[in-house]
Structure 1
Amino acid sequence: MKKLLGGCAYMHSMTGYGKGVSKRDGKTITIEIKTVNHRFLDCNFKLPRNFLFVEDKLKKAVSKAISRGHVDLYLTYEQSSTDEGAYTVDLELANNYLAAVKKLTDGTGLENDVTVSTLLRVGDIVTRQEAVEDEDLLCEMTLEAVNLALENLKSMREKEGQSQKVDFVKKLDSIKDCLEHIKEFAPKVVEDYRANLNARIAEVVEPSLIDKQRLATEVALYADHCAIDEEITRLSTHIANMRSLLEANEPVGRKMDFLVQEFNRETNTIGSKANDMRITNEVLAIKNEIEKMREQAANVE
């Protein structure tokens, strides 16, 4: 169940609910599964005591279908058949009790008012023996119910995952647009710096006295300091990689978590190196989209 057939994109949300029911011979097993986001696979099973023997099989079924997320699984068992076990009577214990009552009556002179109802209230004289369950049948029914629950859960998680995918694409498009603006503004940063520097120097120094070589060196140093070509290239690569993950046919949540961190790293570097308000505004817009992606990626399996 971890991969879809036909090459379709996987992209599952970690939030979902699924229910499965198995009915046979007057017995009903119902399994409900609820999942929420979690960094790893974390399972919490609520089983009746007489179903503990199938816990390992349930864990294997869940881990085969789900790669990460917090999983709450609830199993309820109902039995409508008349085979509810037999009652046994401990006659030896009953006679010992009656002998003790007679001895007490003879010794105290009190009236013996012991009845059958009195004996029924004495523990262990009449006991109920639980019907012997067919564990093979219960195990088979449990696996049938859990597989149905997982299929329904998968359907819900896949549906929400596709909605997340659409949202991711919009955010990546927005980041790409901002990056295009940054590419346009980046060369102007050095040009503006050169023009402003020339203007400030001209205010205090005669044009004929300006050391053009030193001025060129100063501009070159500034250009090197605020160069963001590498960061732009890496961020463009991250966008392409994220789009590839959206089309992958396997769980990609952890990879998305890591890639979002790289988005943030490159964007921060661009913001710190490019001393320009126009680029800063684009960086802020990108960081806003990255934060939204981070929240979304935290809920992708």
Structure 2
Amino acid sequence: TSYYKAIKEVLDELGIAWEIRLEHLLALPGLLVVEEPAEDLETLWPAVEQALGQAVHTLREMRRLEGGRLEEDIRCRVQRIEELNREIENRTPLVTQEYRSRLTQRLQELLPEGIVEPGRLITEVAIFAERSSIAEEVVRIYSHLSQLRLSLEADEAVGRKLDFLIQEINREVNTIASKANDLQISQVVVEVKSEIEKIREQIQNIE
């Protein structure tokens, strides 16, 4: 090679006896240059396009399956909240009746000869019933649950709407908890709030 000849001539002129080895030549810059052939993008594009298309299809299918699982889970929890709301609704009249019985017994213990004035008893019970009434909250929860089901059937993005409805249901449940004045209803409310929180977590994965 030209490198070898040039080195040989210099050594001969200087009278230096030195064996030129392959490793000496390989250490010289630019001796070996590897050139990669230019790739034809037009030739490669069909394969790239097919791979991208398959990846997009797979991603969409995964999202569809995941969305189906999320929807099914939310529907089950909505159904459970509706059942619990019905328990609260059915329990409400009994709360007033039990209060009337407790009040009657208490007044009989306190009043002379245990005589209870019917008018006074009716007034006290009416005040309690009005103060602890949760009928409106129960009805609104049913309405919110119905809207939530309809939203799950929509083809558009519903994440924000679902989150809003869950917040409204949670607000109604908190009101029930503060007004009911009943241990059984309070226990049901705890379970409702647990279901609400689980739905809220699922909604975070919905657009």
Report the TM range for the smaller structure's normalisation. 0.7 to 0.9
CA distance in 2, matches of 1:110, 1:262: 96
Shift of 1:112: 4.2
Q: What's the offset of the Cα at 1:243?
A: 0.9
Change (3 A) 1:194 1:135: same
TM-score for both structures, normalised by structure 2: 0.77
Task: Check 1:199–1:162 CA distance in 2 against 1; reply closer, same or farther (3 A cut).
Answer: same
Relative to structure 1, the CA distance from residue 129 to residue 209 in structure 2 (aligned partners, 3 Å threshold; closer, same or farther) is: same
- Structure 1 residues 2-38: Cα deviation after superposition (integer angstroms, max 9, x where no partner): xxxxxxxxxxxxxxxxxxxxxxxxxxxxxxxxxxxxx
Match of 1:124 among 8, 12, 30: 30
AA aligned opposite 2:166: V
Which residue of the other structure, out of 10, 14, 33, is the alignment partner of 1:102?
Answer: 10
Corresponding position of 1:159: 65
Q: Which structure carries more strand by proportion?
A: 1
Deviations 1:207-229 (A, max 9, x none): 5575945x555444433332212
1:40-119 matches, cutoff 5 A: 94=3, 98=6, 102=10, 106=14, 109=16, 111-115=18-22, 118-119=24-25
Query: Is this contact kept in 1: 2:82–2:145, CA < 8 A?
Result: yes
1:270 and 2:170 equivalent? no
Shift of 1:274: 0.9
Distance change >3 Å, CA 229–CA 102, structure 1 → 2 = farther
Q: Distance in 2 between matches of 1:199 and 1:101?
A: 127
Q: In structure 1, the residue corresponding to 2:33 is in which secondary structure?
A: strand
| Cα deviation 1:119-152 (Å, max 9, x = unaligned) | 3343333222232233455555434322221212
Letter of the structure 2 residue corresponding to residue 111 of structure 1: W
Q: CA RMSD in A?
A: 3.4
- The 1-side partners of 2:9 and 2:91 are apart by 104
Alignment of 1:129-208 (within 5 A): 129-136=35-42, 138=44, 141-206=47-112
Equivalent residues, number: 205
Q: Partner of 1:68 in structure 2?
A: none
With 255-264 and 147-156 compared, the bigger mean Cα shift is at 255-264
TM-score scaled by structure 1?
Answer: 0.56
Letter in 2 for 1:285: E
Give 1:185 deviation, angstroms.
Answer: 1.2
Per-residue Cα deviation, 1:173-205 (whole angstroms, up to 9, x for no partner): 222111112111112222322331222122111
Decide which structure has greater helix share.
2
Instruction: Give the structure 2 partner of residue 290 of structure 1.
Output: 196
In structure 1, distance between residues paired with 2:143 and 2:6: 90
What amino acid is the match of 1:229?
A: A
Which has the bigger relative contact order, CA under 8 A and spacing at least 6? 1
Question: Aligned pair in 2 of structure 1 residues 113, 240: CA closer, same or farther (>3 Å)?
Answer: same
* Structure 2: tracts of 5 or more residues without a match: none
User: 1:228 corresponds to which residue?
Assistant: 134
Corresponding residue of 2:167:
261
Bigger Rg, which one = 2
Distance in 1 of aligned mates of 2:97 and 2:62: 54
SS at match of 2:108: helix
Deviation at 1:268, TM superposition (A): 2.4
1:106 is matched by which residue type in structure 2? L
Preserved contact between residue 101 and residue 112 of structure 1 (Cα < 8 Å): no
Q: Paired residue for 1:249?
A: 155
